[in-house]
Structure 1
């Protein structure tokens, strides 16, 4: 194993064994336990565009038009040829828009026999042809670019590429579950990524994994990681292995599903829609919590049918930390493989801060339970925040759950004041909004750091011309 000097310190190159001590596995009740069950294919499926709120789209289809799986539905106006494609074959039933006519969903009513658009993978080693093929096939929305956590732009080729094959968020299905049965496609995806950079493709997976798709992967540099959440976040992997040095030091990142999407396009010329989903949370009937074989863009109503309890619930596309509130008429988010339901708190408990809180979790040891080991099944959580937003109190508390070497409170304050030069010095280029999920969760000041960082990255990227 060699080493190189970055930011005045020596960093090891070659395979690494990363151990993380700071972090937190939230002890939330309602984990998925039932093994894989096949979900019936629903009548409607949607291309969800909500995560791309900083992207302007050109709509390529109209309501009533027939489409195939993998057919382009919208195109990015900023990156010519960057397509977002259909996850289903059938008729475009509805084009949903939000505030200021922002695109939210394109709803497709499935045909009984769906057709897939089949593309011809490039046979030459020409990089421009390969990039054009991946743009046309809908692979690029699964590739994120650092710094700024944007959808990757082929004009900015990466110094390195990082693949996170670790899932550590609450209730999320493991990467091993996602690639099981698709090992050859996954390897093809890794080989494709190796053609997109002159640097290295870094594959990070959980220590002790027995998945041969990871342990025997070729044309990549393999690293293992262990510890509590956020061991699955790519920012941590990059900082440990090959830190970002400047606004022009581009790194591309993908999840295991992103690699599978590239792999299927290159092997078969078709779009990858298979998903292993988790259904979890106390709002889901205990006997119905578990893992499901499903599709990208599943409707919420098909996930909750005969599965939820009769009480007020918060339905979440994604996990409890970074997921998005949805309604029964909505669809699973573009990147989401988890759906959960937790009790919606409708009453405020009188003098809750004076109680012992023997059945409540406390990361800051405000309750007696903060000094004890969590019960086997975890604690019951609701949507109650127990207070409103107020000024920062103590920045040291966040460092207990933040393994990145950044001063959390100072960075958030620099973003709020839009002092981006100082924010860059504090580590803004190295982070993504999801890195602040745990600090937000334990924050006694109830400050929504995820939203603040997301807005700050967007503003600074515009300032830098990205």
Structure 2
């Protein structure tokens, strides 16, 4: 039985530069890059060495801890460079793309005739397994542990994020095939969430439990939906899949080809013509950004992902493996004289002290990356709770992570959260503490010590 989810706590950050709903094909990128750091907790073991020719879908590396988990090339071409950092850590695999793409053939499959084990084996062999992540810990799912449920959030609420209702349109067949396949991997239910007032292609899916979600950000975060529908207790596992990744999985099952194509939103106040582009995972950001043109080219920040949780990739960087948007906003490298002691009309704040954004709830703002303050010790304000829709004490959990108190982390609900769930508390933090980094390090410690 479906259940509506209505979130009251949160904060919608309305920014100038939302992508117009029209799609163009991005300029073909000459080089594509897959970064092992996109797969948190994975230590890569090289399969395709520098100079090797690969087809789209053939593996570049596998996980050192589980060689069954393969990470494929998004395009065919030559491995131009394996970029290494300190202590020879692998930072990126760069592929010089062929003009005519060649695909590894994994064979078309009839999902209705496959068992759960056959689906799992096929997804592992084809390199689609990294699209499946798990809670707790927000890492790639362990194929040896069955989940109690699978969650897919088709409701994006982060600022300037891609509109799933738009980018999934016309891909209903691929999504349904992927859903049917994933349903064989769990004895529980496949939960799909959509916007209450939207017209989502996901609304017509079979073999799912559909939920209508409404409320401010982070209502679209899958952790919030899990907490409201089927909370995670110690020893339990839930799998999570991004809606656009369902298209890749479904197309693989239908055609036998790993097609890493993705529709992304190019948005932000520094973009002259924000819109959607069709590109591929790992493409050069410049192949998308400069198609639309930017304002003040020397003073911008290019972010792969949304402005709250994305990665600063610079104009010569590459699209992240899990990202469906590129955000371009002004770099906040200016100093505002007496900014703490005068009325503020052009910024968003949950506080009413010398700020007036609460008077204009629908106004869109052009914000930059300035933190408007400096790092200091935690100040107890009670503000975090106003934007944090979990039944969890956020400040206490952050402090438990900061001091590596595993018992307190367990008791305070660490199994239910991911770093992205603390993006808003980080945004409004008067202490300018790196909340997402603190939570990530806490989850890593729990994974290492508790597993």
With the shorter chain as reference, the TM-score category is over 0.9
Residues 176 and 365 of structure 1, relative CA distance in 2, 3 Å threshold: same
Residues 143-158 of structure 1: pairs in structure 2 closer than 5 A: 143-158=132-147
Two-structure CA RMSD over aligned residues (Å):
1.7
Match of 2:349 in 1: 362
Match of 1:429 in 2: 415
Residues 258-277 of structure 1: pairs in structure 2 closer than 5 A: 258-277=245-264
Match of 2:237 in 1: 250
Offset from partner CA, 1:96-131 (integer Å, 9 cap, x none): 233333323211111111111110356653433321
Q: Aligned to 1:299, which of 284, 289, 292?
A: 284
CA distance in 2, matches of 1:50, 1:253: 19
Offset from partner CA, 1:202-260 (integer Å, 9 cap, x none): 1111113323x3222111111111111111111111111111111x2011111102222
CA distance in 2, matches of 1:323, 1:141: 18
Deviates more, 1:390-399 or 1:438-447: 390-399
Q: Aligned to 1:224, which of 189, 203, 212?
A: 212
Offset from partner CA, 1:387-415 (integer Å, 9 cap, x none): 21112222521111111111100111111
Task: Give the aligned length.
Answer: 447
1:414 corresponds to 2:400: yes
Residues 146 and 367 of structure 1, relative CA distance in 2, 3 Å threshold: same
Deviates more, 1:48-57 or 1:129-138: 48-57
CA distance in 2, matches of 1:260, 1:15: 24
Unaligned runs of at least 5 residues, structure 1: 1-13
Match of 1:68 in 2: 55
1:400 counterpart SS class: helix
Q: Aligned to 1:349, which of 318, 336, 339?
A: 336
Unaligned runs of at least 5 residues, structure 2: none
Answer yes or no: is the 8 Å Cα contact 1:209–1:215 preserved in 2.
Answer: no
1:96 counterpart SS class: strand
CA distance in 1, matches of 2:64, 2:381: 41
1:16 corresponds to 2:3: yes
CA distance in 1, matches of 2:367, 2:86: 31
Offset from partner CA, 1:28-57 (integer Å, 9 cap, x none): 222222522222322222223322242111
Match of 1:214 in 2: 202
Q: TM-score, normalised to structure 2's length? A: 0.95
Q: TM-score, normalised to structure 1's length? A: 0.92
Match of 1:205 in 2: 194
1:455 corresponds to 2:441: yes
CA distance in 2, matches of 1:338, 1:204: 20
Residues 98 and 28 of structure 1, relative CA distance in 2, 3 Å threshold: farther
1:393 counterpart SS class: coil
Shift in Å, 1:276: 1.3
CA distance in 1, matches of 2:331, 2:180: 46
Q: Aligned to 1:397, which of 370, 383, 391?
A: 383
Answer yes or no: is the 8 Å Cα contact 1:122–1:133 preserved in 2.
Answer: no
After the TM superposition, which segments of 4 or more aligned residues of structure 1 sit over 4 Å from their partners? 121-124
